[in-house]
Structures are given as C-alpha cells and as structure tokens.
Amino acid sequence: MRAIGVSNFTVAHLEHLKTIATVWPPAVNQVELHPMYQQAELQDYCRKEGIRLQAYASLGGQDASKAKWMQLGGRLVEQQAVLAAAVAHGRSTAQVLLRWALQKGVAVVPKANGEARMAENLAVGGFALTAEESEAIGELEKGGEGRLCWKSDPLRMLEFP
C-alpha cells in the first residue's frame, strides 16, 4: 500500500492511527471546514504532519436547518465580510469562500448543482483575497457551534485491526 486517506479524523484519531499505521502520513483527511468551523488545531496538526486537508461544506453546507443559520447570524454566503470581498473582486460569494480556503492551503470539494455552478466554482484563479479580507472572513469562526453537516455522539476512538 502506498497511500491512505481518512475522513473526519480528529487529532486524537490521527495520533492513534500514527501508532499503528504501516503507511504514514495519510495523504488526505477530508473534513468539514469553512469560516464558521475552521478547526485550527486540526489544520496545524495536519500541516506539521504533511497531511493534506480537503474541505467539504466549503460554502457552509446544505444540511443546516433554518434555525441553525439564524443562530449563527445567517448563511456564510450572506455574511458581510464575504459579500464585501465578492463586490471588491467582482466575484461570487461562493468563489470568495473557495478562495479563502485555498489561500489557507486547504483543498476544496464544493457541491454544485449544474454545469454553470461547477464552472463558477472552478473559476477561482485570477484573484486573491487581501490579508484584511481573509482575516475578516476568518473572524466568522464559531468553533464547534459552527459545525453544520453532521452531528453524532462524541466520536469514539476508532478500533483498527
């Protein structure tokens, strides 16, 4: 085996895997990651270990309820910092959110319905967010409260053969 990939692994899961893996590090860890749920500790760990983070729900996810969005102050694409950057660069809010993640070194897997949206999501080159714009978007962090995709009981330590 030359490479492995994991999904939704926390630092604790990765540390456990490191003690038993015959292949280290995983090539990728796919996790929910966006401005409201940045997982800074996991980002730092993966960067140090050479694990590529791949974000799903980069645009804020579609699974959150209306009540959840109200609790967070509105959808990611409706946040003032995101809207301001979109206007400043002549881009869509989706493109700004994807660019924000890419500039942090995170790969993205945006959901898209239709070819036009896919083309828009691919057109994230040719501009860069300023440090101020990136910082303003980063201030949308809500920690665990910003998690939008799936809820579970606290993850158990995975058992590996």
Question: Which tens digit of pLDDT belongs to each residue from 37-66?
Answer: 999 999 999 999 999 999 999 998 777 888
157 found inside a domain: no
Q: What per-residue string of b and e applies to 37-53 under the rule 16 or more CB within 10 Å gives b? A: bbbeebbebbeeeebbb
Total domains present in the chain:
1
In a domain, 154, yes or no: no
Q: What is the pLDDT of residue 154?
A: 46
| Secondary structure in 3-state letters for the chain | CCCCEEECCCHHHHHHHHHHCCCCCCCEEEEECECCECCHHHHHHHHHHCCEEEEECCCCCCCCCHHHHHHHCCCHHHCHHHHHHHHHHCCCHHHHHHHHHHHCCCEECCCCCCHHHHHHHHCCCCCCCCHHHHHHHHCCCCHHHHCCCCCCCCCCCCCCC
Q: Is this prediction's pTM over 0.85?
A: yes
For residue 42, give the CATH number of its domain: 3.20.20.100
Confidence tier at 156 by pLDDT (50, 70, 90): low
Q: Which domain holds residue 81?
A: 5-141
122 assigned to some structural domain:
yes
| Cα separation, 80 vs 54, whole angstroms | 25
Q: Which of 28, 54, 53 is nearest to 110 (CA)?
A: 54
Mean pLDDT of the chain: 91
**Tens digit of pLDDT for each residue in 74-83?**
999 999 999 9
